[in-house]
Chains A and B, each alone.
Chain A
Amino acid sequence: MRREPEDTVAGPEDGVAGTVEAVRFDRVTKRFGEHTVLDGLDLAVGRGERVTLIGPSGSGKTTILRLLMTLERVTEGVIHVAGEPYSHMPSGHGERGAGAGPGGPDPKAGLVPASERYLAARRRGIGMVFQHFNLFPHMSVLENVVEAPVHVLREGKEAAAARARELLGMVGLADKVDARPTRLSGGQQQRVAIARALAMRPEILLLDEVTSALDPELVAEVLDVLRDVARATDITLLCVTHEMGFARDVSDRILMFDRGRIVESGRADQLLDEPTHERTRAFLRAVR
């Protein structure tokens, strides 16, 4: 059984009552040059929670996923994953929890930006599915799925292949194991990408507009697979999508973004059916 998500965002240093957070953004700012994409964002996602990020293009949703996947680095603030610093690492031993400065405790107290080695170990619990699939064109479908379990997790080739076939069966591609990705339709490629991400047994799965590059008639097959994943596992999902029906089906909570800030947050049906913020209403009218 999945745990019910926490309604409220736990404060810093608040790990009591078994509400371990999968992800916490602590006053995270991300700038590209002069352009501020995320502006002092606070965000907590409970373990096993399914959160969908909606909002206009350029509102910072995808950046949140890319920061979590370490494809971008934070400008300010700290990201925690599973209760441990993630974008940063302890600068020494026993130095954490330094005193509060002006404007509350400094999220970076005792922390330095994470090294590549620190990230290499920590990012393994997180998987990502991309808008454009990004399958490896020089490998067969099966090789795409087996690659990381064998070379990163050091699973045996046979065991990894057996599990890969199982996952490819789950996404409905058991007959395509030997095909080249370039020979598959977009929907099939994206289902391979989902199997490839799941093969790493991530605790957190990031879905970055996974149906945006697909022809309309191929969207359903991908979303059906993801509904199955959401039903059958207790994986933590962070999802950026314009598919409001899908968001309603899988999400515990939906966050409406605009200009790098959360303008509204609530249970899926509540936010979609009775949005309180004018910006959310305008956005939902536009995408429906």
Chain B
Amino acid sequence: MSGFLAELGRALPRLGEGLLVTVESTVLGAGLALVLAYALGLMSGSRSRAARGAARTVVEFFRGTSLYVQLFWLFFALPMLGFRLEPLACGVVALGLNFGAYGAEVVRGAVAAVPRAQLEASVALGMGPGLRLRRVVLPQAHPLMVAPFKNLLVQLLKATPLLSLVTVPDLTFRIDQLRSATGDTAAAYLLLLAVYGVLAGVLSLLMNALERAAKARLGTGGDG
């Protein structure tokens, strides 16, 4: 155990880099997922049949095929077609597509949950479709999205270790190196569990604050 701690001390700078890569892939993957979630989610609720159909197809495809396989496809198969992405880019794209597909369902559901009467009121005030969405529907849908988005974000974080399989030097990758160097599998993986647990906790706290703020804006906060 003391040998492990000594090795851990020497490895700290690399573990720090790994942590940064994990945070980076989480943030970038979540950012891409969020953009796709909105685009696909709003298209799913569109009146245009073509837009709906396209969104449904994309969502079902990326929800229905494993993240693991998508990642390997991007990393190993895509270069054979002449496109080569950096390992981290592969990871971000795979995370973004996969979680964007799940997120699209969150956006679609939240938009659909805004009462129809709110839309009717905005029609009666002469508001066009864009204005209705921006000023009436989305502000009321956002608070409904925060809790499911929090779950997805924590799941996305916990999916990032997959990236170490395509040579992305993230936290998992670095701690695995530590494990090889020390042979102390139990200690290394215990450390790994702990760090992801703490990261997930921090994310949850951030999202809880966001949820409270969103609900307060809607006037349905805890004091009501």
Q: Which chain A residues have a beta carbon within 8 Å of chain B's beta carbons?
A: 69-71, 116, 120, 123-124, 126-128, 130, 132, 134-138, 147-148, 151-153, 180-183, 196-197, 200, 206
| Chain B 114-148 interface 0/1 with A at a Cβ cutoff of 8 Å (1 = within) | 00011011011111110100011001100000000
Asked whether, in the complex, the Cβ of A123 is within 8 Å of the Cβ of B126, the reply is: yes
CB pair B120 A134 closer than 8 Å: yes
7 contacts between A and B (CB under 8 A): A69-B120, A69-B123, A136-B140, A137-B140, A137-B220, A138-B219, A180-B219
B140 cross-chain contacts in A, Cβ below 8 A:
136-138
Chain B interface helix/strand/loop/mixed: helix
**Cβ-defined contact, A134 with B117, below 8 A:** yes
Given known A70-B123, A152-B127, contact A134–B219 (CB-CB < 8 A)? no
Contact with A along B204-217 (1 / 0, CB 8 A): 00000000000001
Chain B interface residue count, Cβ-Cβ cutoff 8 angstroms: 21
A212 vs chain B, min Cβ distance (A): 14
Q: Are B220 and A134 in contact (CB under 8 A)?
A: no
Verify B123–A148 contact, CB threshold 8 A.
no
Across the interface, name the chain B residue whose C-beta is closest to A123: B126
| Given A134-B117, A135-B121, A200-B126: 16 more A-B contacts, CB < 8 Å | A69-B123, A71-B120, A120-B126, A123-B123, A127-B124, A127-B125, A128-B124, A130-B121, A130-B124, A134-B118, A138-B219, A147-B135, A148-B127, A152-B128, A153-B126, A200-B125
Residues on the B chain within 8 Å of A151, using CB: 127, 131, 135
Q: Which residue of A lies closest to B219 (CB)?
A: A180
CA distance A135 to B128 in the complex (A): 17
Q: How far is the CB of B49 from chain A (nearest CB, A)?
A: 15
- Within 8 Å CB of A70, what residues of B? 123
Q: How far is the CB of A193 from chain B (nearest CB, A)?
A: 8
- Tell whether B224 is near chain A: CB-to-CB under 8 Å: yes
A138-B139 contact, Cβ under 8 Å, with A120-B128, A180-B219, A182-B224: yes
Q: Determine whether B218 belongs to the interface, using a CB cutoff of 8 Å to chain A.
A: yes
The complex places the Cα of A196 from the Cα of B136 at a distance, in Å, of 15
- A130 cross-chain contacts in B, Cβ below 8 A: 117, 120-121, 124
Task: Determine the chain A residues whose CB is within 8 A of the CB of B126 once the complex forms.
Answer: 120, 123-124, 148, 152-153, 200
Of B124, B128, B218, B220, the contact of A69 (CB 8 Å cutoff): B124
In the bound assembly, the distance between CA atoms of A137 and B224 in angstroms comes to 13
- State A127–B121 Cα separation when bound (angstroms): 9
Q: Which B residues are in CB contact (< 8 Å) with A132? A: 117
B123 CB contact (under 8 Å) in A71, A137, A181:
A71
